[in-house]
Chain A
Amino acid sequence: MKAKWITILLALALLIPLGLSQAQEEVVLQFWHTYNETSPEAEMLVETLIPMFEEAHPGIRVESVPFPYGEFRQTMLTALAGGQGPDLARLDIIWSPEFADLGLLAALDEVMPDFQDYADEVFPGPLSTNTYNGHTYGLPLDTNTRVFMYNTTLYEQAGIEAPPATIDELAAQCDAIKGLGDNYYVFADGGTYGWAVLPWIWSFGGDITDPEITTASGYLNGEATVAAYEFLYEMVSSGCFSPSFIGAAEVDASTSYFTDITASILDGPWMFPIAEAQYPDFTIETALMPAGDGGSISVVGGENIAMFASTAHPEEALEFIRFTQSDEYQLAMSETGQLTVLPRLLETEYYQTHPYYGIFLRQLETARARLPHPAWTTIEEVLTDTGQLILRGEMSVQDALDAAAEEIDGILAEYAG
């Protein structure tokens, strides 16, 4: 009997130090992101950057949780609704307004005492994608844009000497490329979402809404935007552009580019590391987006880092955000195709002598961002569907865009006032 009691007491005594050590245990930060796992991005984060941060900050552990891009927004929203969200996330710049609008993000300009020091160091454009209703909810992590990439093998075979400077010149390549065979295309893209169609709309001089984002009527169904869609319809229906625009191609746009089926695409800097890893013999050649009446205007992409209002460890999370704004983090990620958001780094030798960032920086001078609006996801759905109706020839361009403008006006009205 006595022995039994002693055992129980001993067992309890063993639990005490366990409880104590648990109380002092390190803080674990969950960092959710879409850093690409097939290119070196995720590897750089997990194997170099996070260990670097953890070494400098004993007691903080950063758990990297990668997601495929397509599922990320939804998974995050569902998790946050259930109170299971991360501490930090790398958000596509188009999601920041929506997450801020839902009250999920911590306003960094309020909770981060040295916020302004960091804000002053980044490009104002990418920084502005974090601002919603007068507060700033994050800091930019990386920026990018799409430039024109062409396939030298196909250019050589078709006798095309230089990349097109204008949209008209691009269209004029059709005969030469089609001369190689029916299943060769001048250009390919993955669909009719904003990322794909906006460079055409803007370069034709069109737009989706007015600059204040209050109405789509007169812009989305305006003359220049109509001309842009007419052009795309003509190109796709004549077979000059790949049926990948309507999801009816054998392979996706970038694969068809790498495998000498499509002569050109628009894409971002991450294509270089991907090519290196998967198509080592392929050389990507670049040019600016072919110009139209509106100039050579591409679309700005990129990601922000944001802290969730629900985090239990704001101090530690902010410390990681500061780390992402350091030269070390930004330069390391630059090696994986992530363009820095720190202008000061452009003066470094790394950027001055970089083989391919130059063209992206030039394109960024005129590139524009998608609507910084909390309803962007819904608006883009309308845009995507409308583009499909047009390119599949199910509706005339004007009718389809009139209907879309009306629908988007309705969506915008819900957020007005």
Chain B
Amino acid sequence: MNPGTAVTRQPLLKRVNTLLRYSPGHRWYVPYLFLLPGLTLYILWMLYPLVYELYISFFDWNIMPGQVSEFVGLENYREIFADSNFWFALRNTALYALVTVIGQIVLGLAVALLVHRVIFARRVFRAIYYLPVVTSWVVVAFLFLYMFNAQAGGLINYLLVSVFHVLPEPVAWLGNPDTAWVAIDALGIWKGVGWSMVLFLAALQGIPVELYEAAAIDGADEKQQFLHITLPLIRATLLFVTVMLVIGGFNVFISVYLMTGGGPLHRTEVVLSYMYNRAFGRLRFGYGASLSYVLAAIIVTINFVQMRLFRRPTIEY
């Protein structure tokens, strides 16, 4: 026992405890113990695969056990920028994100405004609109496959041809790139409207009623109230919803994979379906890993720009 160390140790521990805002009676490590299970899972299932994927992206990766993979440096990334298929898939992804984000925000806000005014059974309406959000992508993709069936008996064809007489004959929706996008976009919007509605609804409920009363006394009509009170006050929610929807839009995969498989003629290929085809179809896992890192970089950049554009001082009532 060295008495000297005991003396120097005491204040150090105290300093650490102060730093951690805990008095000596508290066991400072307790919160970390509670974090441990979640953190372990995160590291094991998120962080480790992410880092490993980055590693793979520098190789001509051979997935078969016991075979060597060749280190190629940045070759995969260089190839991506020269790959016209990638650019086309990225264009498709961006268009999908644009159409579905706007669709989900406009419809989500519209539904939120309606549900906000509903007095009777508001929860029921909220649940109905939210239902598609919690339904499995696989299930609803198949549902839309049936609805957009090429036969005259497919629901959409039946409605447009036999009921409303909008179209002269049934359309092979998924056999044609342009009409296939209609089906894929429709699914994306329909499935997401409920999510943005719930968030907008929460934001609407947070706006003090007095503001509308005061505006009404000053002679502001409904439209003016919406533009000058509602919209500015749900700005933070709008930003959050936009950012999350853009991330979701760029990650579109299951619906495309199940409904068109990227076809016809790769015209509905999105970045993730292209990544999947290259990795699992042609067994080019290094290239696939690079593709997903490029996509991640694009999403981060877009979100960064969005945050910048939307930044405003917070409003206090």
- Please encode chain B, from 246 to 263, with 1 for each CB lying within 8 Å of some chain A CB and 0 for all others: 000000000000000001
With contacts defined as CB atoms under 8 Å apart, how many contacts are there between chain A and chain B in the complex? 51
How far, in Å, is B297 (CB) from chain A's closest CB? 26
Q: Determine if A388 and B151 form an interchain contact, defined as CB atoms under 8 angstroms apart.
A: no
How far, in Å, is B212 (CB) from chain A's closest CB? 53
| Interface positions of B from 157 to 199, Cβ below 8 Å from A | 170, 172, 174-176
Q: Determine if B63 and A81 form an interchain contact, defined as CB atoms under 8 angstroms apart.
A: yes
Docked Cα-Cα span, A250 to B64, in Å, equals 41
Docked Cα-Cα span, A249 to B65, in Å, equals 43
Docked Cα-Cα span, A70 to B266, in Å, equals 17
A103 within 8 A of B: yes
- Please encode chain B, from 60 to 102, with 1 for each CB lying within 8 Å of some chain A CB and 0 for all others: 0001110100000000000000000000000000000000000
Which residue of chain A has its CB nearest to the CB of B285?
A81
Secondary structure type dominating chain B contacts: loop
Q: Determine if A247 and B264 form an interchain contact, defined as CB atoms under 8 angstroms apart.
A: yes
Stretch in contact with the other chain, from A2-10, A72-80, A296-304: A72-80
How far, in Å, is A349 (CB) from chain B's closest CB? 45
Report which of A83, A310, A385 forms a contact with B265, defined as CB distance below 8 A: A385
Q: Determine if A77 and B263 form an interchain contact, defined as CB atoms under 8 angstroms apart.
A: no
Q: Determine if A103 and B150 form an interchain contact, defined as CB atoms under 8 angstroms apart.
A: no
Report which of B150, B151, B265, B281 forms a contact with A389, defined as CB distance below 8 A: B265
Which residue of chain B has its CB nearest to the CB of A78?
B280
Q: Determine if B63 and A248 form an interchain contact, defined as CB atoms under 8 angstroms apart.
A: no
Docked Cα-Cα span, A389 to B265, in Å, equals 8
Q: Determine if A310 and B65 form an interchain contact, defined as CB atoms under 8 angstroms apart.
A: yes
Report which of A81, A243, A246, A377 forms a contact with B64, defined as CB distance below 8 A: A81
Which residue of chain A has its CB nearest to the CB of B67?
A103
Docked Cα-Cα span, A248 to B174, in Å, equals 8
B152 within 8 A of A: yes
Residues of B within 8 A of A243 (CB): 172, 175
Docked Cα-Cα span, A102 to B150, in Å, equals 39
Report which of B151, B152, B281 forms a contact with A377, defined as CB distance below 8 A: B281
A378 within 8 A of B: yes
A104 within 8 A of B: yes
Q: Determine if B265 and A388 form an interchain contact, defined as CB atoms under 8 angstroms apart.
A: yes
Known: A78-B280, A377-B281. A247 touches B65 (CB 8 A): no
| Interface positions of A from 241 to 255, Cβ below 8 Å from B | 243, 246-251
Residues of A within 8 A of B172 (CB): 243, 247-250
| Interface positions of A from 73 to 99, Cβ below 8 Å from B | 74, 77-78, 80-81, 83
Which residue of chain A has its CB nearest to the CB of B277?
A381
Residues of A within 8 A of B282 (CB): 377-378
How far, in Å, is B181 (CB) from chain A's closest CB? 15
How far, in Å, is A245 (CB) from chain B's closest CB? 10
Docked Cα-Cα span, A78 to B281, in Å, equals 10
How far, in Å, is B116 (CB) from chain A's closest CB? 44
A57 within 8 A of B: no
Docked Cα-Cα span, A302 to B150, in Å, equals 31
- Please encode chain A, from 367 to 393, with 1 for each CB lying within 8 Å of some chain B CB and 0 for all others: 000000000011001000100110010
B283 within 8 A of A: yes
Q: Determine if B280 and A250 form an interchain contact, defined as CB atoms under 8 angstroms apart.
A: no
Q: Determine if A247 and B63 form an interchain contact, defined as CB atoms under 8 angstroms apart.
A: no
Residues of B within 8 A of A81 (CB): 63-65
Q: Show 14 A/B contacts (Cβ-Cβ < 8 Å), sorted by A.
A: A74-B280, A77-B63, A77-B280, A77-B283, A80-B64, A80-B65, A104-B64, A243-B172, A246-B264, A248-B150, A249-B175, A381-B281, A385-B266, A392-B265
The 3 tightest CB contacts between A and B, nearest first, are A247-B175, A81-B63, A248-B175
Chain A residues within CB distance 8 Å of chain B: 74, 77-78, 80-81, 83, 102-104, 243, 246-251, 310, 377-378, 381, 385, 388-389, 392
Question: Other than the known A81-B65, A247-B263, A392-B265, what 8 A-B pairs have Cβ atoms closer than 8 Å?
Answer: A102-B283, A243-B175, A248-B176, A249-B150, A310-B65, A381-B281, A388-B265, A389-B265
